[in-house]
């Protein structure tokens, strides 16, 4: 994409009420736009990052047998009454409205209820289990405060997955597979080293539940980690018994601030029983269904990545989620040089390299500052001076490393 | 995808209140699920079709310079008050709710206002124009009646594009380009022959506006067409003057029922003036901006395609939007034959062919009926009998044409 064509521009100012680092950087660099607190639009650069993250998650969910579909934002009151989650006393994040005929509706802040109700039409026999479905859904949550940028929104994108299993064992097998798949996701987006499967309180069905927590100062949670053993524990379950079980002592743990980037949850058979989903077992008997739910906040994850990978100059995108692989910055003015820059852009595009081409008529300093702010992993500078030696300059955003590469060797040097 | 893995099944029954052919077929075949009137979830097969349609639209919008981004569902009251479109008296499809602090919000039924307000941050100079942006957005509209299946929803996906131009001429150039791009879209989804650019009343800024109307009995509109000259006119502009201008007589026109599949609209400079978007011209003067908006209802288009391409047995997907290219139906039982069916499935997948593989343990009659209902363009039947001659059977859903192909020639025969 030519930068002269991109309608967004980098900005020096952000809205006064924008306190979070992730939103400040993303607004300045032109990735997002603030509609109101906790409500952000995703501009062309931002949408590219979102789609990259979604595709990584999609691949890992497909790999463990997930089937993608998409539910609705509009929800039926009667379903949520069955599980006692309609009342604002029990769920305090509902946005509600009404149809013309007065029928109350809610806007989806979660989807266990409607998906389980849908499944009553398709899951009837033990042969239909296990079944795993997931969606990328825009969730609407009426949060009292929304001040963590895109890390906690009133409108945000979530990948939510649901497993329907025949028994506790079948449930557990998939639950364990999801833990592995989630760790792959977090590794691929660059957060592997600082993301922990964290032991938390288990609720009614299991000794522990699990959260995925990433170390970041912007986080709202506090956990105890042992970096060497890659073990993490929530404060609420930190007891001598648990420490012994995990083979660590209190002294070996470090207290850190974290953001929850994923959660997995076991509903046992309660939710399906409340909603009337049961199947016919091998002996013709009625069998309750085990439900698990597994979430990754896609926009939240993007926010955590920005909190995690940035410096005083701007964002430093990890390779797999960067909006482009290469930022080709041209300082050329003379038509002969401009032709060489244009030709390199075309060559990279033809080779399937994702390139943002800064072909703007702007000062070098402005171009470099914008490039640092936007944070594409590899910057290639082509200038009259570099072309004197038939060269271009490679500069890596993360390491700051600079090398000179012959114009004709660029493709080889990238791949 | 293996059909044994697909959680949806074909159904004989549809909800009692479902009167429309498109939703009846799509529900029976397992593409959609009705949450309530006008509110449908898209199941794995349905989501595949939606994404195919979106990709076609995306390619054609990109080709004319469109930049994709995504706005928000939650909308600010004050913006819509500026253009007098907040009041329920003026816009009767709002879903509204409120934040915890009492601030009223609306859910996006359209997006001219917030996008134009956003553009005030980025479009400042005549050099920034023209700019074209588009999104695929879930629109929420509180329709009094919603009984046309996915053709008119309370929640539906729309591609909406907006053009910001320096003057009427620049606006017109893009407006004409959109007409061509839309015609390409409708041709690619298979509706080209029966879709007409229709002359309608022009409003304040132009003599005519344009609609894109597809002939279908399920349509809510009536237009007059001349199929030979591919001319169409709305009843409201049908006058002797217009007929003369278009070079047709009333006798040469046929009255047909149609569904609007696209619309394009010229707002002139009014909307940008109301919202305070102006730019600095070449001579330093303040210049008003011309706004155009261009919509295609993605889910509506899917509904029209189903209305248009179906028979008593089920859906007949056009190639470019079919959920899969090939429906591989195996009637094999013996392990040697099953191995051959499995191998063919893998071979097709490896070659990049999108295949739904009916590997279920079911009767041939059931498999064929399901295959007809689902409507994938090419069915390949592999059976013990066909394998006796080292062959499989090709059957085309649209033409009904059947041929026998040697097992080893399948790939060649497809490509």
Determine, for residues A44 and B123 on separate chains, whether the beta-carbon distance falls below 8 Å: no
Q: Does B131 touch chain A (CB under 8 A)?
A: yes
A118 and B33: CB-CB below 8 Å? yes
Give A100's contacts in chain B (Cβ within 8 Å).
142-144
Judged against a pLDDT cut of 80, whether residue B290 lies above it is answered with yes
Which chain B residues have a beta carbon less than 8 Å from that of A143? 100
Confidence of residue A264 (pLDDT cuts 50, 70, 90): very high
The reply to whether residue B138 touches residue A75, judged by beta carbons under 8 angstroms, is no
CB-CB: which of A35, A43, A74 is closest to B69? Answer: A43
Gap from A32 CA to chain B (nearest CA, Å): 9
3-state secondary structure at position B269:
coil
Alpha-carbon gap, residue B116 to B275, rounded angstroms: 7
CA distance B232 to chain A (A): 35
Higher pLDDT, B147 or B390: B390
Q: Which domains does chain B have, with CATH numbers?
A: 21-311 (3.30.930.10), 324-414 (3.40.50.800)
Helices B168-188, B44-63: crossing angle, 10 deg rounding: 140
With an 8 Å Cβ cutoff, is A33 touching chain B?
yes
* Calculated CA dihedral for residues A108, A110, A112, A118, nearest 10 degrees: 20
Residues of A in contact with B40 (CB under 8 A): 72
For B222, half-sphere exposure in the C-beta direction (CA atoms, 13 angstrom radius) is 6
Q: Spell out which residues of chain B touch residue A4, defining contact as CB-CB under 8 Å.
A: none
Residue A95, classed as helix, strand or coil, is strand
CA angle A235, A236, A242 (to 5 degrees): 85
Give the 3-state DSSP-derived string for A48-77, with helices as H, strands as E and coil as C. HHHHHHHHHHHHHHHHCCCEECECCCEEEH
Query: Is B95 in Cβ contact with A97 (below 8 Å)?
Result: yes
- Asked whether the predicted pLDDT for residue B203 surpasses 70, the reply is no
Residue in chain B lying closest to A117 (CA): B35
Q: How far is CA B161 from CA A323, B112, B158, B174, B214, in A?
A: 22, 9, 10, 11, 20
Residue A191: count of CB within 10 angstroms of its CB: 23
Is the pLDDT score of A206 beyond 80?
no
Contact indicator for A135, A159 with CB cutoff of 8 Å: yes
Q: Within chain B, how many helices (H) and strands (E) appear?
A: 12, 23
CB A199 within 8 A of CB A239: no
Nearest CA in chain A to B361: A127
Q: Are B74 and A6 inside 8 Å of each other by CB?
A: no
Query: What is the structure's pLDDT at B246?
Result: 85
The end-to-end CA distance of chain A, in Å, is 20
Say how far apart CA A215 and CA A225 lie, in whole Å: 10
CA distance A238 to A217: 21
What's the CA gap between A152 and B321, in Å, rounded? 36
Sequence-distant (≥ 6) Cβ neighbours of residue B399 within 8 angstroms? none
User: For chain B, what is the mean pLDDT?
Assistant: 95
Q: How far is CA A279 from CA A111, A125, A268, A276, in A?
A: 21, 5, 15, 10
Cα distance from A215 to chain B (closest Cα, Å)?
29
Phi and psi dihedrals of B225, rounded to 5? -125, 150
Please give the pLDDT value at position B206.
Answer: 65
Q: Chain A partners of B6 at a C-beta cutoff of 8 Å?
A: 67
Residues B264 and B210 sit within 8 Å (Cβ to Cβ): yes
Contacts of B95 in chain A (CB under 8 A): 97, 105
Query: A160-205: per-residue pLDDT in tens?
Result: 999 999 999 999 999 999 999 999 999 999 999 999 999 887 665 5
Helix (H, G, I), strand (E, B), or coil: what is residue A142?
Answer: coil
Distance CA A71, CA B41 (A): 4
The reply to whether residue B68 touches residue A39, judged by beta carbons under 8 angstroms, is: no
pLDDT the model gives residue A207: 66
Q: Show which of residues 137-176 on chain A sit within 8 Å of chain B, judged by CB atoms.
A: 138, 140, 142-144, 154-155
pLDDT higher than 80, residue A211? yes
Q: Which residues of A touch B47 (CB under 8 A)?
A: 68-70
Show Cβ contacts of residue A264 under 8 Å, excluding neighbours closer than 6 positions: A175, A178, A179, A182, A209, A210, A292, A293, A294, A295
pLDDT the model gives residue A390: 97
Burial class (CB in 10 A: 0-12, 13-18, 19+), A375: buried
pLDDT band at B242 (very low <50, low <70, confident <90, very high): confident
pLDDT at B207: 66
Residue A370 dihedral angles phi and psi, to the nearest 5°? -60, -40
User: Strand A314-315 vs strand A155-165: parallel, antiparallel, or unpaired?
Assistant: unpaired
Q: Which of residues 224-283 of B touch A (CB under 8 A)?
A: none
Q: Does A70 touch chain B (CB under 8 A)?
A: yes
Q: State the average pLDDT over residues A278-307.
A: 97
Buried b (16+ CB within 10 A) or exposed e, A281-295: eeeeeebbbbbbbbb
Candidate from B50, B107, B144 with C-beta closest to A100: B144
C-alpha distance from B227 to closest chain A C-alpha (Å): 39
- Calpha distance B90→B79 (Å, rounded): 14
Measured between CA atoms, how close is A152 to chain B, in angstroms?
A: 15
Which residue in A214, A390, A230, A184 sits closest to A302, CA to CA?
Answer: A214
Closest CA–CA distance from residue A261 to any residue of chain B (Å): 22
DSSP A31-53: SEEEEETTEEEE-HHHHHHHHHH
Peptide bond into B130 cis (omega under 30): yes
Provide, as residue numbers in chain B, all residues whose Cβ is less than 8 Å from the Cβ of A5.
65, 67
User: By three-state DSSP, how is residue B398 classified?
Assistant: coil
The verdict on a CB contact (< 8 Å) between A47 and B41 is: no
Contacts of A376 (CB under 8 A, 6+ apart): A317, A322, A323, A324, A325, A326, A327, A356, A397
A292-296, B144-148, B381-385: least confident range: B144-148
Instruction: Please list the alpha-helical segments (H only) found in B11-136.
Output: 21-28, 44-63, 77-82, 112-119
Helix (H, G, I), strand (E, B) or coil at B402: strand
- For residue A2, the 8-state DSSP code is B
Residues B367/B347, Cβ–Cβ less than 8 Å? no
Which of A:184-223 have CB within 8 Å of B? none
Band (A71; pLDDT cuts 50, 70, 90): very high
Q: Tell me, yes or no, if B402 comes closer than 8 A to chain A by beta carbon.
A: no
Chain centroid to CA A247: 32
Q: Closest CB to B9: pick one of A7, A46, A122.
A: A122
**Cα atoms found within 13 Å of the Cα of residue A218, Cβ hemisphere only:** 25
B177-192: per-residue pLDDT in tens? 999 999 999 999 999 9
A chain contacts of residue B69, beta-carbon cutoff 8 Å: 41-44, 46-47
**Predicted local confidence at residue A226, as pLDDT:** 93
Q: How far is A232 from chain B (nearest CA, A)?
A: 35
User: pLDDT value at position B245?
Assistant: 85
Provide, as residue numbers in chain B, all residues whose Cβ is less than 8 Å from the Cβ of A41: 69-72, 114, 118
Strand segments (E) across B235-289: 254-268, 278-280, 286-288
Q: Nearest CA of chain B to the CA of A256: how many Å?
A: 31
- Residues of chain B numbered 100-129 and touching chain A (CB < 8 Å): 100, 105, 107, 114, 118-119, 121-123, 128
Q: How confident is the model at residue B236 (pLDDT cuts 50, 70, 90)?
A: confident
Q: Do B71 and A144 touch (CB under 8 A)?
A: no
Contact yes or no for B41 and A11 at CB 8 A: no
Mean pLDDT for all residues in chain A: 95
Strands (E), A250-371: 254-268, 278-280, 286-288, 290-297, 310-311, 314-315, 326-330, 355-358
Radius of gyration of chain A (CA): 25
Instruction: Inspect the interface and report whether the beta carbons of B36 and A155 lie closer than 8 Å.
Output: no
pLDDT digits (tens, 9 = 90+) for A357-392: 999 999 999 999 999 999 999 999 999 999 999 999
Put simply, whether B18 touches A (Cβ < 8 Å) is: no
The ipTM value here is: 0.96
Chain B residues whose beta carbon lies within 8 Å of the beta carbon of residue A69: 41-44, 46-47
CA–CA dist B394, B57 (Å, integer): 31
Structural contact between residues B277 and B123, judged by C-beta atoms closer than 8 angstroms: yes
Average pLDDT of span A301-321: 97
Q: Which residues contact A82 (CB under 8 A, 6 or more apart)?
A: A113, A274, A275
CB atoms within 10 A of CB A349: 14
Can you tell me the mean pLDDT for A291-311? 97
Q: What is the pLDDT of residue B235?
A: 85
Residues of B in contact with A123 (CB under 8 A): 7
């Amino acid at each position: 994409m030519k930068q002269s064509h991109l309608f967004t521009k980098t900005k020096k100012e952000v809205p006064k009420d924008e306190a979070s680092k992730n939103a400040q950087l993303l607004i300045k660099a032109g990735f997002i736009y603030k509609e109101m607190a906790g409500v952000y639009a995703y501009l062309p650069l931002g949408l590219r990052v979102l789609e990259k993250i979604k595709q990584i998650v999609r691949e890992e969910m497909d790999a463990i047998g997930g089937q993608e579909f998409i539910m609705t934002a509009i929800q039926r009151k009667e379903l949520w009454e069955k599980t006692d989650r309609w009342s604002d006393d029990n769920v305090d994040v509902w946005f509600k409205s009404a149809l013309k005929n007065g029928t109350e509706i809610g806007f989806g802040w979660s989807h266990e209820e409607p998906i389980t109700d849908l499944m009553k039409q398709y899951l009837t026999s033990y042969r239909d289990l296990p079944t795993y479905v997931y969606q990328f859904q825009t969730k609407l949550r009426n949060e009292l405060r929304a001040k963590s940028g895109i890390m906690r929104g009133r409108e945000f994108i979530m990948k939510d997955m649901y497993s329907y299993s025949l028994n506790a064992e079948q449930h557990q097998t998939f639950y364990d597979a999801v833990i592995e798949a989630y760790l792959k996701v977090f590794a691929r987006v660059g957060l592997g080293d600082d993301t922990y499967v964290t032991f938390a309180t288990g609720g009614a069905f299991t000794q522990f539940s699990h959260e995925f927590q990433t170390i970041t100062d912007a986080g709202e949670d506090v956990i105890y980690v042992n970096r060497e053993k890659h073990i993490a524990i929530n404060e609420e379950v930190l007891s001598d018994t648990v420490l012994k079980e995990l083979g660590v002592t209190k002294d070996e743990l470090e207290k850190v601030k974290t953001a929850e980037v994923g959660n997995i949850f076991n509903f046992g058979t309660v939710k399906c029983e409340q909603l009337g989903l049961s199947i016919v077992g091998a002996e013709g008997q009625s069998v309750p269904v085990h439900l698990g739910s597994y979430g990754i906040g896609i926009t939240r994850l993007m926010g955590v990545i920005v909190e995690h990978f940035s410096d005083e100059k701007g964002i430093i995108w990890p390779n797999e989620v960067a909006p482009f692989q290469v930022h080709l910055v041209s300082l050329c003015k003379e038509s002969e040089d401009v032709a060489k820059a244009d030709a390199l852009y075309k060559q990279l595009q033809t080779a399937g390299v994702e390139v943002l081409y800064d072909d703007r008529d702007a000062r070098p300093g402005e171009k470099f500052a914008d490039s640092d702010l936007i944070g594409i992993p590899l910057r290639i500078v082509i200038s009259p001076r570099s072309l004197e030696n038939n060269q271009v300059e490679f500069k890596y955003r993360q390491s700051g490393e600079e090398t000179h590469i012959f114009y004709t060797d660029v493709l080889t040097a990238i791949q």
